Amino acid sequence: DPTTSLFLYDRSLKVAPGGVHSPVRASKSVGGEPIFFRFAEGAYLESVEGKRYVDFCQSFGPNILGHRDPDVSVEVGKIISRVWTLGTCEPYSLELAEWIQAKVPWAEKVRFVCSGTEAVMSALRVARAATGRTQIVKFEGCYHGHVDSMLVKAGSGLAGEGASDSAGVPAEIAATTLVAPLDNEEELERIFKRAGSEVAAVIIEPLPANFGLLVQREEFLRKVVTVAREYGALVIFDEVISGFRVALGGMAERLGVRPDLVTFGKVLGGGFPVGCYAGRKDLMDLVAPSGPVYQAGTLSAHPVAVVAGLSTLKKVE
Ligand SMILES: *Cc1c(COP(=O)(O)O)cnc(C)c1O
């Protein structure tokens, strides 16, 4: 039957690796064949077979108001009838940037990109440029997108030594990332004692949510910040999933911590592709064209996405 999920999956296997465009969609970890959905509204999905499902996934985070929120939908309709992509300056992303700046005081300046991965990749580049150092400390179990240097797991040798967690990531790149366990102050100190003077930044999901919801002790999170600062490393909060969700200002607001740089995504685009990195003005001013750190994007700050994002965030507020 050409209208069944199974049939479509069969066709997909012939055109895409594993039949999907992001690995989790293959449903390997839950078993069975993937279901194909053709319609979504609020809390519900409808499969191509016409079966209705309650959607607890909501596209892995972006749809904080559910699918196609009616108020956001009106704004999206309006902007689509006016502009799609311009590749020029426009007022729409300005509105969203000002909103973020007003609600997230440590986001002194903002740069929009198209995904969380891009936001992380760019924030790391800024941190390396600002400090003149190479190493990044990340934590086991935290996901930061698929940039090479973050596809690294704990190695078996020296404290913190990282090993590639994906084929195609050169050992030389994996070696620029140190991996620390979560919830372990002593190990973190050991890593910094050994390599602290080479660490550009510590990056953490302050609410690790990609490997189970690993809520951290506040003392541990504070320790991460203190140790980083003691050694002159920057603190990057990856709030791609926690941002605008646990509080408007994310976990940083909950903790009363000012990260040097922060990354957002998911909710930020209200169901369309937007991410951003933001933070201290002196750091963000290192980014081109005001500074020497190159970063660009054909579809960055896409008008439809930033409008969807802003109307979503206003409603969340
Ligand atoms: C989803 C996620 C990313 C990656 O974002 P993409 O838009 O999928 O590239 C990075 N960091 C965290 C914490 C995330 O949850």
> What confidence category does residue 100 fall into, taking pLDDT thresholds of 50, 70 and 90?
very high
Q: Over 90: is that where the pLDDT of 161 sits? A: no
What stretch of H or E contains 72? helix 70-80
The whole-number average pLDDT for the span 66-75 is 98
In short, whether 145's Cβ falls inside 6 Å of ligand 1 is yes
Judge whether residue 286 has pLDDT over 90: yes
Tokens in use for 237? 């909060």
Q: What is the pLDDT of residue 80?
A: 98
From the DSSP assignment, how many helices (H) and strands (E) are in the chain?
10, 12
- Tokens 């200002």 found at: 249
Confidence of residue 211 (pLDDT cuts 50, 70, 90): confident
Between the alpha carbon of residue 177 and those of residues 123, 140, 149, 169, 174, the distances in Å are 14, 11, 6, 12, 6
- Chain centroid to Cα 97, Å, comes to 17
Query: How many whole angstroms from 225 Cα to the centroid of ligand 1?
Result: 21
pLDDT of residue 159: 77
Q: What is the pLDDT of residues 111-136, one digit of tens each?
A: 999 999 999 999 999 999 999 999 99
- Percent pLDDT > 70 in the chain is 100
What's residue 96's pLDDT?
Answer: 98
Query: For position 259, what pLDDT does the model report?
Result: 98
Out of 55, 238, 260, 277, pick the active-site residue: 238
Distance separating alpha carbons of residues 287 and 210, to the nearest angstrom = 29
Output the DSSP codes for 101-164.
HHH-TT--EEEEESSHHHHHHHHHHHHHHHH---EEEEETT----S-GGGSEEE-SSSTTBEEE
Amino acid residing at 138: K
User: How far away, in angstroms, is 49 Cα from ligand 1 center?
Assistant: 31
Helix (H, G, I), strand (E, B) or coil at 279: strand
Pairing relationship of beta strands 261-264 and 275-279 according to DSSP bridges: antiparallel
pLDDT above 80 for 41: yes
Q: Does pLDDT of 2 surpass 90?
A: no
154-158 average pLDDT score = 78
Q: Is 141 in the pocket of ligand 1 (CB under 6 A)?
A: no
> Is 1 a residue of the active site?
no
> What are the structure tokens assigned to 130, written together?
């600002």
pLDDT tens for residues 295-308?
999 999 999 999 99
Q: Among this protein's residues, is 238 annotated catalytic?
A: yes
User: What's the confidence (pLDDT) of residue 204?
Assistant: 98
Q: Does an H or E element contain 97, and which?
A: helix 91-103
Of the candidates 173, 180, 283, the one whose C-alpha atom is nearest the C-alpha of residue 228 is 180
Kind plus residue range of the DSSP H or E element containing 275:
strand 275-279
CA of 3 to the centre of ligand 1 (A): 32
Question: Tokens in use for 213?
Answer: 């919801």
* CA distance linking residue 108 with residue 258, whole number of Å: 11
Backbone phi, psi, residue 63, to 5°:
-85, 65
Q: What are phi and psi of 78, to 5 degrees?
A: -65, -45
What local confidence, expressed as pLDDT, does residue 29 receive?
86
- Reduced to 3 states (helix: H, G, I; strand: E, B; else coil), residue 256 is coil
End-to-end C-alpha distance for the chain, whole angstroms: 46
* pLDDT, mean of residues 183-210: 97
User: Mean pLDDT across the stretch 231-247?
Assistant: 98
Residue 313 has pLDDT above 80, yes or no: yes
Half-sphere exposure of 277 (CA within 13 A, CB side): 30
**Options 92, 143, 231, 277, the catalytic residue:** 143
289 has a pLDDT exceeding 90 = yes
